[in-house]
Structure formats: structure tokens, C-alpha cells
Amino acid sequence: MNIVNNIVESKRMNRYSYCLNNPLKYVDPTGQTIVIAGNQADISLQQLQSFTNLTLTKNDNGMISIIGDIPSKLNSRDQWLMSIINDKKITVNITATDADIQNRYGGAFWGNKVNFDADGNAISVSTDQRVNPLKNYILDSFGERGQTIFHEITESFLGGKYSMIFGKSALPAVQGNSTYNTIADPAHRDAYPQPTEDKAKIEQRMKAIDAIKNFINKNW
């Protein structure tokens, strides 16, 4: 299927060309491989947008695209984000929710599923990452706004990469399971770093958020 978003531009009618015949400047809008869904998806997208010089958009299915001109000079994290969006073998699925996720922090590696061809070769991966934007916001206060959601995206993507290499789907990141040491742990370690600060201060703020949520649930 050829998607044409401007029928006045004759260049866009050629199904064998894309990005106005300039793929070095523009990104193919059908190549989305980051999906942000869940009842807090818009907030997670805003957080990610604050961390990049690229202009992002999300369609009704949660697929993320880059729109507009690509800056002539990209920093390393923008290059990394572009490479994830353009990697059609790995779909990074982010579920952004206001529910608690496994621990007091803002996100968790929830595993992935490797797809194989008839010969048993790994051909694609669909990942599962859970995030809580409110707690991500708290964590970002120790670093840069949007840093935590970018960590979660790169962690999920690298987990997909490692699963492709080992030909093995990953389980959620619970230390001691069969894929923790080979996939989840190195994906977390090699991802874009999370904000770092005194762990006691982070724990204190997370407990405060939980206390407020519990109070609201009991009284409203």
C-alpha cells in the first residue's frame, strides 16, 4: 500500500520513492516501530518529545513517527531514536499506565516475543515494556526531563536485539528467571542511563507518591 499525504506533490505519487526522494533528510512515515499505548500514552510521548530535537507524532494506534525536517546535526541520542524507529525487525511496545509496575520505580522490562521463519531463524521481535509516567517524572527530577522514558525505550529495544541474537524470547525482568542474565540485565545495563541520585531520596519520593494515591483511592 502506498500512503500519499499530499496529492498535489507529484513526487509523492511514485510508489517506488519516498520522503520526497530525499531519505537522508526525511524519515519514511510508514516505518514506525515504537508504539506507545495505555491510558497515559500522551504523557509518555510528551516526556519523550522533551528529550529529543526530533518532532514526533503518534497515530491512533500509538505508532510513533518523525515529522518535519530532520536537523542537519543530530546528537547521539537523536541518532539512536531514529535508528530504533527505522529498525523494522524490532517493534518496541510501551504500555504507559498510572498503575503500579512491579516496583516503586517508573518502568520495567516485561519481556518480548521472537518470531521465527520456517527454517527456525529469528526474523523479528515484539517487545513489552511497562512505564508509569508520573513516577518517570519524579525520576527525571534527578536528571533531565524525558530521560527515564528514553531509558525504557532503549532498554526494550536492546532486549529485542539480544533476543534476536540468542533466538530466545525474554521473560519479564525478575532476577533468577531463565532469561534475566542473558537478555534483561544486559539490556538494562547497556540502555541509555537512568537519572542517578541518592537512592534513599528516590525511594522517599516514590513512597510519597504511593501514599497520595492511596489517600485519594480511600477518600474519593
* Alpha-carbon distances of 57 from 35, 72, 105, 123, 163, rounded to whole Å: 11, 20, 26, 27, 28
For residue 48, is it within any domain? yes
Q: Is residue 208 part of a domain?
A: yes
Same domain, 111 and 5: no
93's enclosing H/E stretch is: strand 90-96
Helix axes 76-86, 147-166, angle to 10 degrees: 50
Render each residue's pLDDT in the chain as its tens digit; 220 residues. 444 444 444 544 554 444 555 544 444 444 458 999 999 999 999 999 999 999 999 999 999 999 988 888 899 999 999 999 999 899 999 999 988 776 657 899 999 999 999 999 999 999 999 999 988 988 898 889 999 999 999 999 999 999 999 999 999 998 889 999 999 999 999 999 998 766 676 666 666 666 666 666 666 5
Question: Are residue 2 and residue 42 in the same domain, yes or no?
Answer: no
19 and 123 share one domain: no
pLDDT at 36: 97
Residue 74 and residue 131 share a domain:
yes
Same domain for 86 and 24, yes or no, is: no
Which alpha helices (DSSP H) does 12-106 contain, by range? 41-49, 76-86
Which cell is 29 given? 512515515
Do 25 and 36 sit in the same domain of this protein?
A: no
| CB neighbour burial string for 151-183, b if at least 16 within 10 angstroms, e if fewer | bbbbbbbbbbbbbbeeebbbbbbeeeeebbeeb
Kindly calculate the radius of gyration of the chain based on its CA atoms and give it in whole angstroms: 19
Cβ neighbours of residue 91 under 8 Å, at least 6 residues apart? 33, 34, 35, 124, 125, 126, 127, 160
Is residue 207 within a helix (H) or strand (E), and if so which, with residue range?
Answer: helix 199-219
Residues 47 and 109 in one domain: yes
Query: Which residues share a beta bridge with 127?
Result: 112
If asked whether residues 25 and 74 sit together in one domain, one would say: no
Q: Please check whether residue 177 lies inside any domain of the structure.
A: yes
pTM of the model: 0.79
The answer to whether 70 and 19 are in contact (CB under 8 A) is no
Query: 60 and 17 in one domain?
Result: no
State whether 15 and 104 are in the same domain.
Answer: no
Query: Is residue 140 located within the same domain as residue 37?
Result: yes
Q: What is the count of structural domains for the chain?
A: 2
Residue 220 lies in a domain: no
Angle CA(82)–CA(87)–CA(92) in degrees, nearest 5?
A: 90
Same domain, 38 and 105: yes
Domain range enclosing 15: 1-29
CA–CA gap between residue 33 and residue 81 (Å, rounded): 11
